[in-house]
Amino acid sequence: MDRDLTFDADLAALAWQLELGADVALGETPVNRYDAAAPTAPAAPPAGAARPVATGPAPAAAPDTSDAVRAASEAAAQAPSLEALRGAMAAFEHCELKRGAKSLVFADGLPGARVMVVGEAPGRDEDIEGRPFVGRAGQLLDRMFAAIGLSRTAADPAQALYITNVMVWRPPQNREPTPDEVAMLLPFLQRHIALADPAVIVVMGNTPLSALLRAKGITRLRGQWAEALGKPVLPMLHPAYLLRNPAAKREAWADLLCLKARLRMNG
């Protein structure tokens, strides 16, 4: 790197990195954090040298997700409380996302609230703060629910929200979680819902829609009540989608009114 760069040029280079989407500072030498104790790679053999013949054990097969799903199901079933469930997730070592994330983003709001919101996964802001939906999409989510009298800070379960995500660890670069990652955390989400015991679940976006309802196509299915785990579920457009497509706020408003009507009907 050119060490003679001026302060302004350094700043501009940094701004450009941010523009490109860089959100973490890296050292100049790569570090394999998945394998901290890995021996350094042997020097490449000189050109033309015979390739060494592998004599060690065969490379490990790709991890079998069914083991992870089984471990998650057992751990989740044994959690008698939300606090215990959080601890069980913190001790769960099968999900690689955990190694790249700063926080386990478990939930926010009032456990026992009438409405439980399930989003996709923490983003950068959520990973830093350790709470779901605190970035721009989260601020929009708060405004949306405030418009029908619901808030994550309310003390009365009838006006409160309880908020979580399918994934508790941030996927790198905010990529979509893979089906395997969703499958291994689903038993925890199911237990989370059973313990929080909301009257109604709102699923925001495609990831919780397919995790809980095994359905695809949030733009088609939004606003249509369904049922999961014995509870009514309302699929809604994700607030991040609404930030990108402000015209769709009309549909989101219709869904919020539909939620409000259902809550009023149920007393």
Give me the least distance between CB of 119 and ligand URA, in Å please: 3
Return the number of the residue (82 or 163) whose C-beta is nearest ligand URA: 163
70 vs 98 by CB, closer to ligand URA: 98
Given the rule CB under 6 A, which of 6-14, 18-26, 132-140, 185-193 is the region that contacts ligand URA?
A: 132-140
Residue number, 79 or 121, with CB nearest to ligand URA: 121
Which 149-188 residues touch ligand URA, going by CB under 6 A?
165
Which whole-number Å values give the CA distances from 103 to 58, 127, 132, in the listed order? 35, 5, 11
Counting beta carbons within 10 angstroms of the beta carbon of residue 232, is it exposed (0 to 12), middle (13 to 18) or buried (19 or more)?
middle
Q: Is there binding between residue 137 and ligand URA (CB under 6 A)?
A: yes
Q: Interface with ligand URA includes 138 (CB under 6 A)?
A: yes
The yes or no reply on residue 132 touching ligand URA (CB under 6 A) is yes
Distance CA 37, CA 52 (A): 23
Assess 190 for contact with ligand URA (CB under 6 A): no
Residue list 198-257, contact with ligand URA (CB under 6 A) = 240
Measured from the CB atom, is 71 or 183 closer to ligand URA? 183
Alpha-carbon span 77 to 85, nearest angstrom: 9
Q: How many residues bind ligand URA (CB under 6 A)?
A: 13
- What is the C-alpha separation between 152 and 175, in angstroms, rounded? 26
Contact positions vs ligand URA (CB under 6 A): 119-123, 126, 132-133, 135, 137-138, 165, 240
